[in-house]
Amino acid sequence: MSNAAAVPTASPFLAACRGEAPSRTPVWFMRQAGRSLPEYKQARAGTTMLEACSTPELVAEITMQPVRRYGVDAAIFFSDIVVPLAAIGVDVKIVPGVGPVVAEPFRTEADVKRLRNLDPCDVPYITEAIGLLVKELGETPLIGFAGAPFTLASYLVEGGPSRDHAKTKALMKSQPEVWHGIASRLAAICGEFLRVQVEAGAQAVQLFDSWAGALSEADYRRFALPHSTAALAGVANSVPRIHFGVGTGHLLEAMTETGAEVSGVDFRIPLDQAAKRLPDKVLQGNLDPAVILADDEALISETDAVLEAAKGAKGHIFNLGHGVLPDSDPAKLKLVVDHVHEATAR
Ligand code: 1CP
């Protein structure tokens, strides 16, 4: 059963995802919900991140905030990559200013069994929040998301955020069967988490493999790619799938082997180069998020440079090359949205 059929192709975002010609270049921003918006800080006051993620009215409100303020062409569901892990009973907290912290890291054969499958009944608040959003969003599509198995596993194995992912890599090399046990269970959890969101009405999904760039191509192919492919298979032939990683210039081609329709490109690879390497893919990206902090003249010229570089691509969804930085001025993000829309209206 696909929800995509009911969606008007008038959506520039969905048209671009499908490789059709949109009425203008669509734009949305990774991490557009939360972070820099004053109305977000107000809505979140006194609530922990995971409490907020399991409160449907709050999730719907925070998801809507950037849509109202910026007029972006898609909403991204307000949640976090660790929400499905918390939902199956993993003791994970999101510590302000740090990120996800896991009380008992996963490093042994016995730990593999601590990862049970996700059941839709574990996340009723996701279905409920998306139900509220689909009504409120009208024509604007909602993007559901999940963390890719490698990125999620890195939090589980390290116990929290890590620069070098050393314990994760050591586990892969010394106990590959434990690694594949953890990653394959995570793939099933991610796939189900994406499926629940699509069933509830999400019209596209993004798989965030934020830290995959830490792997060599050979290690990516052996330890991460099969699990990301399995996660994305859960929603194949239903909605467009976007696949994104940071510092993954050396993995661009390998990452397309997951089958995702859209390749997210970070700000380190010019889109014209990405287009030559991936002629069959719609590209998403890739303004450096730091440029949002530059003056208006630089911001507009860098935005134009991204639009120009994307001209050779099969299709283009304008975005940042990674998430909105916390110090970003909302007025600058609005300026970018308006400029992309005006410059590309057909
Ligand atoms: O637009 C949005 O903000 C949508 C919601 C969203 C998304 C898509 C959040 C809310 N998190 C994410 C994805 C996410 N979470 C990723 C992938 C995207 C990326 O690379 O930016 C990752 C790696 C995480 C893990 C995570 N959760 C971190 C990063 C820690 C690290 O390793 O450096 C952090 C800081 C969080 C907490 C979090 N998630 C989201 C918010 C608004 C917050 C801050 C919570 C707070 O203020 O307490």
CB 164 within 8 A of CB 213: no
Q: How much distance in Å is there from the Cα of 80 to the middle of ligand 1?
A: 6
Round to whole Å and give the CA distance between 94 and 13. 31
Q: Give me the interface pTM, i.e. the ipTM.
A: 0.92
**241 contacts 261 by C-beta, under 8 angstroms:** yes
pLDDT at 9: 64
Say if CB 241 and CB 262 are below 8 A apart.
yes
Structural domain harbouring 282: 4-344
Three-state SS annotation for the chain: CCCHHHCCCCCHHHHHHCCCCCCCCCECCCCCCCCCCHHHHHHHCCCCHHHHHCCHHHHHHHHHHHHHHHCCCCEECCCCCCHHHHHCCCCEEEECCCEEEECCCCCCHHHHCCCCCCCHHHCHHHHHHHHHHHHHHCCCCEEEEEECHHHHHHHHHHCCCCCCCHHHHHHHHHCHHHHHHHHHHHHHHHHHHHHHHHHHCCCEEEEEECCHHHCCHHHHHHHHHHHHHHHHHCCCCCCCEEEEECCCHHHHHHHHCCCCCEEECCCCCCHHHHHHHCCCCEEEEEECHHHHHCCHHHHHHHHHHHHHHHHHCCEEEEEECCCCCCCCCHHHHHHHHHHHHHHHCC
Query: How high is the pLDDT of residue 7?
Result: 46
pLDDT score recorded for residue 1:
43
Dist. CA 98 → ligand 1 center (Å): 10
pLDDT at 35: 81
The tally of domains found in the chain comes to 1
Distance 147 CA to ligand 1 centre (A): 10
pLDDT tens column, 208-217: 999 999 999 9
Positions marked catalytic = 31, 35, 44, 80, 155
Question: Between helices 149-158 and 176-200, what is the axis angle to 10°?
Answer: 120
Residues with CB under 6 A from ligand 1: 31-34, 49, 76, 78-81, 94, 96, 99-100, 145, 147, 151, 161, 208, 210, 323
In this structure, the residue with its CA closest to atom 36 of ligand 1 is: 99
Atom of ligand 1 nearest to the CA of 95: 48
What one-letter code names the amino acid at 243? H
- CATH code, domain with 248: 3.20.20.210
In this prediction, the residues of the chain whose per-residue pLDDT falls under 70 are 1-9
